[in-house]
Amino acid sequence: MEQRTSPDNVIYVGNKPPMNYALAAITQLSSGSKEVAIKARGRAISRAVDVAEIIRRRFMPETKIRDIQIATEEVTNEEGQKLNVSSIEIYLNK
């Protein structure tokens, strides 16, 4: 399935608290965007799910999950070893 989310509407989840990412996504949706993508890899996947649920349950109950995609990416570390890292993309519509 082709995704049409512009780079401005993508929230990359890392090590910050989930509320920081939730507020960034809410700002995007409130400023006229119809859709926002929440993306994360590895240990941040559970935080990305938390972000989507915070948005849906606490702040914007009218928001719907349009699509969730999971994948495995191959990443090379500093020693040159190839590692498999899980990733998730959660697409929220207003």
- SS3 string, 34-87, reads CEEEEEEEHHHHHHHHHHHHHHHHHHCCCCEEEEEEEEEEEEECCCCCEEEEEE
State the pLDDT at residue 7.
74
Most confident by average pLDDT, 30-34, 69-73, 76-80: 69-73
pTM (2 decimals)?
A: 0.87
Domain boundaries, the chain: 7-93
State the pLDDT at residue 51.
98
pLDDT tens readout for residues 34-69 = 999 999 999 999 999 999 999 999 999 999 999 999
CATH topology (fold) of 7-93:
Translation Initiation Factor IF3 (3.30.110)
State the pLDDT at residue 1.
45
Q: How far apart are CA 28 and CA 65, in angstroms?
A: 15
